[in-house]
Amino acid sequence: GDSVTQMEGPVTLSEEAFLTINCTYTATGYPSLFWYVQYPGEGLQLLLKATKADDKGSNKGFEATYRKETTSFHLEKGSVQVSDSAVYFCALSDKGNKLVFGAGTILRVKS
């Protein structure tokens, strides 16, 4: 079945450091790919998405490119802030609207 694999955390960075969170997927079709973010005590919020190969999703300085050849959708940000500390979930939607989530990666940014 469909699955999403994310790099294990926690990822701890200093403010203004470069961020990469790896995400790879397995799907039978051509899924849409998403990054969601969860701040402490809150639900998940959509961060960005890409619906076809080579699409780049971007929002709030975060970017991810849909790479079909490597089945990847890595999240990047050039300069993280303390306020970016959260849990980040990679997800895919293949059949209908069911989302399949990765395990989540905790990001901690120190000032």
Partner 1 sequence: DAGVIQSPRHEVTEMGQEVTLRCKPISGHDYLFWYRQTMMRGLELLIYFNNNVPIDDSGMPEDRFSAKMPNASFSTLKIQPSEPRDSAVYFCASSLRFDQPQHFGDGTRLSIL
Beta carbon nearer to partner 1, 95 or 110: 95
Region 69-98 residues binding partner 1, contact defined as CB under 8 A: 89, 93, 96-98
Helix, strand, coil percentages, rounded to 5, for the chain = 5, 55, 45
Closer residue to partner 1 in complex, CB, 19/50: 50
**Looking at beta carbons only, is 49 or 74 nearer to partner 1?**
49
Least separation in angstroms between residue 101's CB and partner 1 is 5
**In whole angstroms, what is the distance from residue 29 CA to residue 85 CA?**
33
Distance CA 36, CA 70 (A): 21
Which one of the spans 8-16, 22-30, 38-46, 60-68 is the region binding partner 1 (CB under 8 A)? 38-46
In angstroms, the CA 22 to CA 12 distance is 15
Q: Give SS3 for 83.
A: helix
Binding site for partner 1 (CB under 8 A): 32, 34, 41-46, 49, 89, 93, 96-99, 101-104
